[in-house]
Amino acid sequence: MNFLLELAIAALIVLGGVFALVGSIGLVKLPDLLTRLHAPTKATTLGVGGALAASMLFFFGIEDRLSIHELLISVFLFLTAPITAHFIAKAHLHEHVDLRDRLPPTGRPQGWSTFDGVPEADDAERDSDPPPR
């Protein structure tokens, strides 16, 4: 049983390393910021997540202890990496106004939340809404 556990830990470390390597190559080779942003975001969540999962499995299976640190790091990483990438992408779209024309249609009357505000409501709709508290 110990050999299978060590094999699973080694596989998670190698898998995490492969994702980190592919994300690093994508960061260097992809042409513009929006595509380059995708590669390290995935590398961070999957690459570091694999190493953290291997560490959790090691401490739980071999050391017979439950280490909560890796779990907290994983939760923090999975919450912050996509949000940070989203903010960087929005800032890039605001800085490069020429990219707005290439955005796909949203299929809604609002447009993109980054650029277009909510359309003005009719007077009848505005009068029927309760006043804000």
Report yes or no on 133 lying in a domain. Answer: no
1 pLDDT higher than 70? no
Which of these ranges, 8-17, 24-33, 124-133, has the smallest mean pLDDT? 124-133
The total number of structural domains that make up the chain: 1
Q: What is the pLDDT of residues 74-87, one digit of tens each?
A: 899 888 888 888 88
Quote the domain boundaries for residue 14: 2-128
Q: What percent of the chain has pLDDT over 70?
A: 82
Report yes or no on 42 lying in a domain. Answer: yes
107 φψ region: left (φ > 0), alpha (ψ -120 to 50), beta (else):
left
C-beta of residue 53 within 8 angstroms of C-beta of residue 38:
no
